[in-house]
Structure 1
């Protein structure tokens, strides 16, 4: 096979949001940059995760909220039109084409090489053309840096019958064009909770099998409790402390799936979704060629530079470094990593990597925001009370019923929700905030600013919320704190 060699300042493996943002920052720094991508430019988030899932969820949540508004609930009493929901989703994923993303790459001056990229030595990447395409393998060389931004894949457990049963992962759950009559979801995290909300709203009879004690166990406990309560009211069955030991689909992909539990009980469904975690997409990117273990998470420093590779040329941003598996955090890392690559290329020897420094990904451990688009919504940033206590912090936890806030009362009849702020008493600022309730996602950035900015609680007293809005929850929390 003929070899073609190309040289760039920076090579980025993976054209998802993380790779795109890192490449954008290195181009802004004046560095020639190429992205290598074997699937669609835009990545998992754009086509099989964040965007399609929220497109499916939006009609479900809008209907749920409308049913709580007097004078409107009668107008939205019917079922959702699934075909229209799917068309809405398909529009927002570009019908699984990446034409729009290619236009942006071209406007940003970023080159694209389609195919599977793998490291073959320091600063060298071999690219195999996509299956079925013509062309020789190309070897790309980086003058300054290679960045691995390949993300994660759904992690399926090793159990009897799983390969033959061909269960859904998050990809199938967000791209299906039919509504299964019966859907079993295995897992209790964000994907499980959101997909239970979406498919229950679209008409599936949903059963959620949670190995642990409840949903969303990495967030404050009341969040999962409120989401589970609403799901049950919508007709979903949620079983906790339940493990699956085997699957069978004897009739092939068109037939029903039998799920065997550890107890020996068997359940039948039309589809089964495994939402049981993520694994890094690093098994086949050539890590062994640079002395790293294939298939593992990549350990990085504050600038996302891989710590176990000499000479500091290899970076890893986004899910692959396991710091914070969220698209917006990966993009945050990418912006910092891209800026650090640019500064080092200019010969800057000492970068500000101290806490909250210009080249430090401090928010990954101190102020990670997350929204779960369930009914009710869950929005959280920073530490839970349990996490703060486990760090040995001297804290005070302040809770408030969001349904007692005037803005919430006007927003929806029977508004159910709860808010919590976690205050570090020794430092006098917030280290964590959680909101649960309809419409709370838009409250989250104010909490993120307070946590990331380490704003003194005394100063927050002077941040006056407008009346009558749900944001008056801040006033109620602070009043309760002051006593």
Structure 2
């Protein structure tokens, strides 16, 4: 179908995708005085705001708060009942603005960004075509840069019966309107473990199916072991080494049968597949600029696509770190680089931790997994550091050695690990698991990013009696 051109407009910067990453790019270039337009085919605010970070944490928080209360004398009995699932889901709806984006649109208007709703595609260098839901066609040209910030989507494996079984992906898991009596979760990564935690707390009987390697396999092994142990104690069935061969749903609304290698089967009311992500680049016109449709985009540390001088790929699409906070960090770097290049400035060396280099993508990516107990990590695991050829030492701590842990909850269970580069005497990685442990992560991130010498960290005195005394205990163990 051919659409008439309704308008042709030129901007300094054009951004495809109005999620948190795209919003941060336009915010930075507008702050530098450049004009900008942003294109979005769904809700402004993107995956994180409506189907990922925000709704998932709204679902998780009540269960974790109840768990904390149940661990404390004086609250244990009062917190003994079930969650009010309807109230939790209503609060989730409020957090996501009932899937309306008026507030996000108002903010973009307030900073002078033109918003175009519709499907945007590259149409050659520095050129974007947008077709609105009403069929209007707009052509945008970018004087300095186009940034692809279209994010990623859930990937479903090719399995017999899966399409007809109507499986949940992360979107359905965070936006569901009812609590399934039985939920099967395929995958033991972040989405799988968080959603298993949330729906179990809301009343689902949860079965987690993991092909191999345990839960949270990209973190230190003890992290997944703690999380799996807690899920099992609350009644979840964790099956490691479970390979799914087919999925069958009984009728249009009946139960789901998940068939496993070896003949076993799991019966559930819903099945969530949390088995990976793919870039949303299959229909953004990459072929018009010599790139492969549907591919991850290779970028330098200023987030510019290699081989171009105008195209940027920011956030999930470059596969450097599929995390909202890391994508927003990249967006700030890309915005600064675009603005500097627009003014004719030569950028410093990309590896220099400058304002124009996303160096943290390589050295210090932080992540909190909001399971119960929480898991948190930054930098390298011990195995990653050894594979990188570093001479390292891992220092481990049972969190029961920290006075603040016992005050947080009698019977507190948790573990911490610090990975030290022995040649430079700096922390290159830290991992934590335990209730409330996510709040320790930023101090670890500062230590890793700042390459703070161990001798200087010794003088960073943690307040007593807080969980942050874990740092003191780790340093004491390192010094011997």
- Preserved CA contact (<8 Å) 1:408 1:470: yes
Deviation at 1:350, TM superposition (A): 3.4
Tell me which of 346, 357, 361 is aligned to 1:364. Answer: 361
Shift of 1:111: 1.1
Where does 1:426-441 land on structure 2 (aligned, <5 Å)?
Answer: 426-441=423-438
Distance 2:51 2:285 in 1: 25
Q: Shift of residue 135 of structure 1?
A: 4.7
Q: Distance in 2 between matches of 1:316 and 1:119?
A: 13
Q: Deviations over 1:206-252 (max 9, x none)?
A: 00000012000000000000000000001100000111011111311
Indicate the residue corresponding to 1:332 in structure 2: 329
Which residue is equivalent to 1:14?
Answer: 17
Q: Which stretches of structure 1, 4 residues or longer, exceed 6 Å deviation after superposition?
A: none
Distance 2:440 2:301 in 1: 28
Q: How does 1:134-149 map to 2 (within 5 A)?
A: 134-149=134-149
The structural deviation recorded for 1:109 is 1.2
Among residues 23, 27, 30, which one is paired with 1:24 in the alignment? 27
* Per-residue deviation, residues 412-464 of structure 1 (Å, max 9, x unmatched): 01000000000000011000001111111111100000000000000000000
**Cα RMSD, aligned residues only:** 0.8
Alignment partner of 1:150 is 2:150? yes
Provide the rounded CA distance (Å) in 2 between the counterparts of 1:222 and 1:285. Answer: 41
**How far is the alpha carbon of 1:352 from its aligned partner?**
4.2
- Report the alpha carbon displacement of residue 107 of structure 1 after superposing the two structures with TM: 1.3
Does the 8 A contact of 2:337 with 2:347 survive in 1? no
Secondary structure of 2:216's match?
A: coil
TM-score (norm 1): 0.98
SS in 2 for 1:212: coil
Q: CA deviation at 1:49?
A: 0.2
Structure 2 counterparts to residues 228-247 of structure 1, below 5 A: 228-247=228-247
Task: State the shift of 1:164 in Å.
Answer: 0.8
SS at 1:113 equivalent: strand
Q: How does 1:8-407 map to 2 (within 5 A)?
A: 8-130=11-133, 134-252=134-252, 254-309=253-308, 312-407=309-404
Secondary structure in 1 matching 2:246? strand
* Post-superposition offset of 1:264: 2.0
Deviation at 1:394, TM superposition (A): 0.3
Q: Distance in 2 between matches of 1:264 and 1:382?
A: 41
- Matched residue pairs, number? 477
Once residues 365 and 241 of structure 1 are traced to their aligned partners in structure 2, the CA distance between those partners, rounded to angstroms, is 31
State the secondary structure of the residue aligned to 2:468: helix
Q: Answer yes or no: is the 8 Å Cα contact 1:152–1:281 preserved in 2.
A: yes
Tell me the distance in 1 between the aligned counterparts of 2:233 and 2:386: 34
1:39-76, Cα deviation, whole Å (9 max, x unpaired) = 00000000000000000000010001111111011100
Q: Check conservation: 1:299, 1:308, Cα contact below 8 A.
A: no
Shift, 1:120, TM fit: 0.8
Cα distance in 1 between the residues matched to 2:161 and 2:295: 26
Provide the C-alpha distance between the structure 2 equivalents of 1:358 and 1:143, rounded to a whole number of angstroms. Answer: 22
In the TM superposition, what whole-angstrom CA distance separates every residue of 1:102-158 from its partner, at most 9, and x where no partner exists?
Answer: 11111111110000000011011111112xxx3521111111100000000001001
Task: Assess if the C-alpha contact under 8 Å between 1:299 and 1:306 holds in 2.
Answer: yes
Tell me the SS of whatever aligns to 1:268.
strand
CA distance in 1, matches of 2:413, 2:347: 51
CA–CA distance in structure 2, aligned partners of residues 250 and 203 of structure 1:
23
Query: CA deviation digits over 1:354-386, x for unaligned, max 9?
Result: 331221111001000000001110011000000
Give 1:341 shift: 0.2
Q: Hey, what's the Cα distance between the residues in 2 that align with 1:265 and 1:456?
A: 53
Distance in 2 separating the partners of 1:342 and 1:350:
11
In structure 1, stretches of 5+ residues that fail to align are none
Structure 1 Cα separation of the partners of residues 65 and 478 of structure 2? 33
Matched residues in 2 for 1:415 and 1:308: separation?
A: 53
The 2-side partners of 1:428 and 1:360 are apart by 25
Unaligned runs of 5+ residues in structure 2 are none
Q: Which whole-Å CA distance do the structure 1 matches of 2:51 and 2:67 have between them?
A: 24
**Distance in 2 between the 1:156 and 1:162 partners?**
8
Q: Distance in 2 between matches of 1:54 and 1:393?
A: 36
Q: Which moved more, 1:351-360 or 1:137-146?
A: 351-360
The TM-score, its normalising length taken from structure 2, stands at 0.98
Q: Secondary structure at the match of 1:101?
A: helix
Question: Take 2:351 and 2:222, find their aligned partners in 1: how far apart are those partners?
Answer: 35
SS at match of 1:121: coil
Cα contact 1:402–1:419 (8 A) shared by 2: yes
1:353, distance to aligned residue in structure 2 (A) = 2.0
- Residue-by-residue CA offset, 1:69-94 (whole Å, 9 max, x unaligned): 11011100000000000111111100
Distance 1:277 1:319 in 2: 12
